[in-house]
A and B are shown apart, each in its own frame.
Chain A
Amino acid sequence: MTLDMIMSHLYLVLAAVALTIIIGVPLGILAYFYKSVRKIILWVVEVLQTMPALALLGIIMVFLGAGKATVVIGLLLYSLLPVVQNTYVGLSEVDPAIKEVAQGMGMTKLYRLWHVEMPIAFPLIFTGIRIAAVTSVGTAVFATFVGGGGLGSLIYRGIRVSNMTMIMSGTLALMVMAVGCDGIMSHIEKRLYRRFSPRKTI
């Protein structure tokens, strides 16, 4: 195991999560705003989630070839569900009274979204991002099969040469990474909930 492997693994996860936020949150907002596309968006992200990760990566590789881009896009598609869904649910569940008073005070739809609904929904959206990030740490192991590198290659090599130390060290590193990621983000999340909507708990 080298530092390089850990760094490339982290890089894959971070790139995928960043893209997931950039694409997933707007998709959630679209689903919230427009009833006509809501069903399609929510259905598509759900179907993507049900596909085996390895199969998904394989399909993407057919189009984009082997490499990091394939892995990042695969992880992105695989992580969309929690982010899109939590964005949509978070926005929908903002107290109708607050929505009404915001409208009654003369906020435009976008102003209301940006200054009221998004801040109130943000803790739940952040939960979605945390779930996406933690799952991506594990899913990124498959990167090795499509030429993406990361800790997956260490484990895969370990399995082929029956080297328990190799497998275990790779797995341990992955677990530390996942638990650490979850711990830090949970901590932030708790503070968000306390600040924005103190009555709400997960």
Chain B
Amino acid sequence: MIRFEHVSKRYGESLILDDLNLEIATGEFTVLIGPSGCGKTTTLKTINRLIEPDKGKIFIDDQDISQIDKVKLRRSIGYVIQQIGLFPNMTVEQNISVVPKLLNYEKARCNKIVRELLALVDMPYEEYAHKYPSEMSGGQQQRIGVLRALAASPPIVLMDEPFGALDPMTRRILQDEVSKLQKKLNKTIVFVTHDMDEALNMADKIIFMNKGKIVQIAAPEEMLENPADDLIRSFMGKHSKDQEALPQTAADFMRSDIYSCYRNRGVREAIQQMARRKVDTLLVKNLDDTYAGTVSIKSIRNHGKDLKTIEPLITQENAVSYVDEDAQICFDKLLNGQDSYVVVLNHDGTIAGIVTKTSMAKSLADAVWGDSQ
């Protein structure tokens, strides 16, 4: 467990950390997030004493870290940074073995560790162990950066925006890999980011900071439900549930690009229109544009041969709904009735659109995952 007690840090006039109190439980994936300059990286670096606080104490497993030898402390804490920082003069194997060597592990043991770790991320030892960092892509380099931090099995790993410099796709893959590794190896990870997606994706607990203070500590789900203030809400962006009201009425689910014709049209014309648009029914309007009913290809085939207009074939059996009707009632009509769609009318009786199963699913998906654009 890592515990901060009244930790403050000042650079000249500006207060970077303002009386910070917090606890990070063992085995937990904790994400520090906030706008730049909020003190998240400073907080991280006080844990391995790259930055010493002016006031307050930090404890790891109830031991005051200011009493532990810096070098010894750091060898027991993994550290990953945004710029990756692989040593360019060392091979992959040498890079991963740095801390084990500092701890005087035997050569055979170091080699075993390297093989095991590379296997964890599916990088074959024979292919990668003797490469230099400059021979690998950014994503591969940062994988090695993460492995290097894990090499001496530290119980705590600090990560300072480790995926910030990677492209979105690689970032996603590495996020998943690190999540997996964390669960497998049960590490306490403290992770700094300014990307809410990343935080929500990885964290057990999110600590939101601003101006050197903690604004909110919560599990991702809880932070989504109840963001403590507007700043957090704006960080959540599209994830926030109350930012946009859930669709409620039939109008929210309908499609309005529909095909209709007037009731005095000829049968032949109606058939042509259906064929051109690849539909089997047409919505029919009265001459004043109000909804008259529907005509199906089936009824034309059965009775329409001798008719001049479609008028006698119009039926009003199709389910009808109004634009402001509760979406749930509209869904009931769609799901329980015989029809493949529900006609939605405006209050003046004109046609507003139709709700189909596809339009319903699409609108729901948009509401849950944000606009697909």
User: Could you name 26 residue pairs across A and B whose Cβ atoms are closer than 8 Å?
Assistant: A95-B85, A97-B81, A97-B85, A98-B87, A100-B81, A101-B81, A102-B87, A104-B45, A104-B79, A104-B158, A105-B75, A105-B98, A105-B99, A105-B148, A106-B71, A106-B72, A115-B87, A116-B87, A116-B89, A119-B89, A120-B89, A195-B132, A197-B134, A198-B88, A198-B132, A198-B134
Check: A50 CB closer than 8 A to any chain B CB. Answer: no
**Nearest neighbor of B50 in chain A, beta-carbon distance:** A104
**Nearest neighbor of B75 in chain A, beta-carbon distance:** A106
- Do the beta carbons of A106 and B99 come within 8 Å of each other? yes
Residues of A within 8 A of B102 (CB): 105-107, 111
Check: B48 CB closer than 8 A to any chain A CB. Answer: yes
Q: How far is the CB of B41 from chain A (nearest CB, A)?
A: 11
Residues of A within 8 A of B99 (CB): 105-106
* Chain A proximity mask over B64-77: 1 for CB below 8 Å, otherwise 0: 00000001111110
**Nearest neighbor of A107 in chain B, beta-carbon distance:** B102
- Do the beta carbons of A199 and B134 come within 8 Å of each other? yes
Check: B273 CB closer than 8 A to any chain A CB. Answer: no
Residue from A95, A105, A196, A198 within 8 A of B83 (CB atoms) = A95
- Do the beta carbons of B71 and A108 come within 8 Å of each other? yes
Q: Report the separation of the CA atoms of residues A104 and B47 in the bound assembly, to the nearest whole angstrom.
A: 10
Taking beta carbons and an 8 Å cutoff, which residues of A are in contact with B?
Answer: 95, 97-98, 100-108, 111, 115-116, 119-120, 195-199
Residues of A within 8 A of B48 (CB): 104
Q: Report the separation of the CA atoms of residues A111 and B98 in the bound assembly, to the nearest whole angstrom.
A: 11
Residues of A within 8 A of B73 (CB): 106
Q: How far is the CB of B189 from chain A (nearest CB, A)?
A: 15
Interface size on B, residues (CB 8 A): 26
Q: How far is the CB of B245 from chain A (nearest CB, A)?
A: 46
Q: Report the separation of the CA atoms of residues A101 and B99 in the bound assembly, to the nearest whole angstrom.
A: 11
Q: How far is the CB of B149 from chain A (nearest CB, A)?
A: 8
Q: Report the separation of the CA atoms of residues A58 and B101 in the bound assembly, to the nearest whole angstrom.
A: 52
- Do the beta carbons of B81 and A104 come within 8 Å of each other? yes
Q: How far is the CB of B153 from chain A (nearest CB, A)?
A: 14
Q: How far is the CB of A107 from chain B (nearest CB, A)?
A: 7
Residues of B within 8 A of A102 (CB): 85, 87
Residue from A100, A116, A120, A198 within 8 A of B50 (CB atoms) = A100
**Nearest neighbor of B101 in chain A, beta-carbon distance:** A115
Q: How far is the CB of A143 from chain B (nearest CB, A)?
A: 38
Q: Report the separation of the CA atoms of residues A120 and B132 in the bound assembly, to the nearest whole angstrom.
A: 13
Q: Report the separation of the CA atoms of residues A119 and B76 in the bound assembly, to the nearest whole angstrom.
A: 25
A101 touching B85 in the complex, CB below 8 Å, given contacts A108-B71, A111-B102, A199-B134: yes
Q: Report the separation of the CA atoms of residues A120 and B84 in the bound assembly, to the nearest whole angstrom.
A: 16
Q: Report the separation of the CA atoms of residues A101 and B74 in the bound assembly, to the nearest whole angstrom.
A: 10
Q: Report the separation of the CA atoms of residues A116 and B102 in the bound assembly, to the nearest whole angstrom.
A: 13
A-B CB proximity, top 6 nearest: A101-B85, A106-B75, A106-B74, A97-B83, A119-B89, A104-B79
Apart from A105-B74, A115-B87, A199-B134, 19 more pairs, CB < 8 Å: A97-B83, A98-B85, A98-B88, A102-B85, A103-B50, A104-B45, A104-B48, A104-B50, A104-B74, A105-B102, A106-B71, A106-B73, A107-B98, A108-B71, A116-B87, A195-B89, A195-B132, A198-B88, A198-B132
Q: Report the separation of the CA atoms of residues A179 and B270 in the bound assembly, to the nearest whole angstrom.
A: 94
Residues of B within 8 A of A119 (CB): 89
Which of A105, A111, A115, A120 has the most B CB atoms < 10 Å from its CB?
A105
Q: How far is the CB of B310 from chain A (nearest CB, A)?
A: 75
Q: Report the separation of the CA atoms of residues A34 and B88 in the bound assembly, to the nearest whole angstrom.
A: 25
Residues of A within 8 A of B75 (CB): 105-106
Q: How far is the CB of B72 from chain A (nearest CB, A)?
A: 7
Q: Report the separation of the CA atoms of residues A104 and B83 in the bound assembly, to the nearest whole angstrom.
A: 13
